[in-house]
Structure 1
């Protein structure tokens, strides 16, 4: 697979996101959804705290157990750089390390089509995303108002929709190198694993993975690509539908049509 480099003494500080221009691949994938940065939504203040309110934390070494929450040969030599927090690798980083190996095997394989890469990447996300929690968070107050039947129907269609949306953000890229940069504490429950995806023909792509421990395992709560939070984008999009087009049932119908 290639060399694995260990980077020690990574300090946990506040989360921040790039303000510059986004790579073309990101722009193309988010125009239809609308750009929503983590510092500009009330969701980020209550559930995903924005950078300006995060305080520096001590390096993570022992996560609380009560926290919420390859099939083809590579064409080119690749390196995976794994960030370590303190002297021990954090379980959240290990989770992304494992995922990065699988992702790299898919996204660096130029022998398969872009659509095939998206499909394979989507399967990995379906396994590692905390889809029930994401589904509730992006619904906001509308989740509390929905009936049990509406919640069940919504979750059925949301699963397919969110996997497709996340994989479209990243799954079509060809990758030469996947670097895990560092691991940071975000708020009281979450861990942010920052990574960089490199293709020699494009600008480096920043991907930040937000994880929360639930049922003894770390699962992905959010993926920010180029500084744009997928969870906040979905909340913005769903909120607009619910306000302007009326009700949870209508949102479910729209998601069903998009899943076809």
Structure 2
């Protein structure tokens, strides 16, 4: 199947939108003012994401179309779409034409938005705790990694890593890693398989994505 649900929606909803509880251990142990400032920047980013977003996305008095519209706006402001898209396509990004890249990013955004915006009705109120903020791995895309856990009402805590990239416009999400499973890597593997089955042509993936977007849009 071309587009899978990466993780149980309750986990994704919790990771993206629940009000977070921030551990005081990190701040108490920190001695470098710059490190503290950067840590607070990352924590503030998640606070903002999980605050107003949650209140809007989980309202029952708005239509699915309104929820989708809001999710799209939020995704555009909090995620680095091009960085994610470049990673997901991998070596195929360089093979793709400029028009194919533009279309891929538009389709990828739409699939993300349509897939997840309608599923937050299933959210059941998990809690999230930020454990610590650390620098990204040398040579990797991320500048900051926020380590957190989701605390379900039943069962063991779930590990969630937020991989964030910094630019002049601030921090943006480039990946979520839930219990060791990367969303971006999952898409990269899945889409790469589609391209392989299409004779190595990005156009084959685009055709499949167009069909999926049409299917998801038709459900609205």
Question: Please, what TM-score do these two structures have when normalized by structure 2?
Answer: 0.68
Q: Residues 90-169 of structure 1 correspond to what in structure 2 (within 5 A)?
A: 90=39, 91-105=41-55, 119=68, 123-164=73-114
Number of the residue aligned with 1:228:
181
Identify the residue that residue 210 of structure 2 maps to in structure 1.
Answer: 256
Counterparts of 2:19 and 2:152 in 1: how far apart (Å)?
A: 12
The alpha-carbon distance between structure 1 residues 166 and 196, as it changes in their structure 2 partners (threshold 3 A), is: farther
Aligned mates of 1:139, 1:224 — CA distance in 2: 18
Give the aligned partner of residue 240 of structure 1. Answer: 193
User: Which of 21, 30, 50 is the matching residue for 2:6?
Assistant: 30
Q: RMSD of the TM alignment (CA)?
A: 3.3
Using the alignment, how far apart are the partners of 2:19 and 2:106 within structure 1? 38
Q: What SS is found at the alignment partner of 1:30? A: coil
Rate the CA distance shift 1:166–1:229 in 2: closer, same or farther, 3 A. farther
Q: Which runs of 5+ in 2 are unaligned?
A: 8-17, 215-220
Match of 1:80 among 7, 15, 20: 20
Written as runs of structure 1 = structure 2, the 5 A alignment for 1:186-205 is: 186-188=136-138, 189-201=142-154, 203-205=156-158
1:171–1:182: structure 2 CA closer, same or farther, 3 Å change rule?
farther
Per the TM alignment, residue 209 of structure 1 is displaced from its structure 2 partner at its CA by 0.9
- The answer as to whether partners of 1:238 and 1:251 remain within 8 angstroms in 2 is yes
| Structure 1, unpaired ranges of 5+ | 1-27, 32-77
1:159 Cα deviation after fit = 1.5
Deviation at 1:154, TM superposition (A): 1.6
Report the Cα offset of residue 238 of structure 1. Answer: 1.0
Contact 2:6–2:183 under 8 Å retained in 1: no
Question: Structure 2 vs 1, CA of residues 97 and 200 (structure 1 numbering), >3 Å: closer, same or farther?
Answer: same
TM-superposed deviation, 1:194: 1.8
- Aligned to 2:125, what secondary structure does the other structure show? coil
Q: Is the 8 A contact 1:110 1:174 kept in 2?
A: no
**Structure with greater helix share of residues:** 2
Shift of residue 178, structure 1, vs aligned partner: 2.4
Match of 2:166 in 1: 213
The answer on whether the counterparts of 1:136 and 1:143 sit within 8 Å (CA) in structure 2 is yes
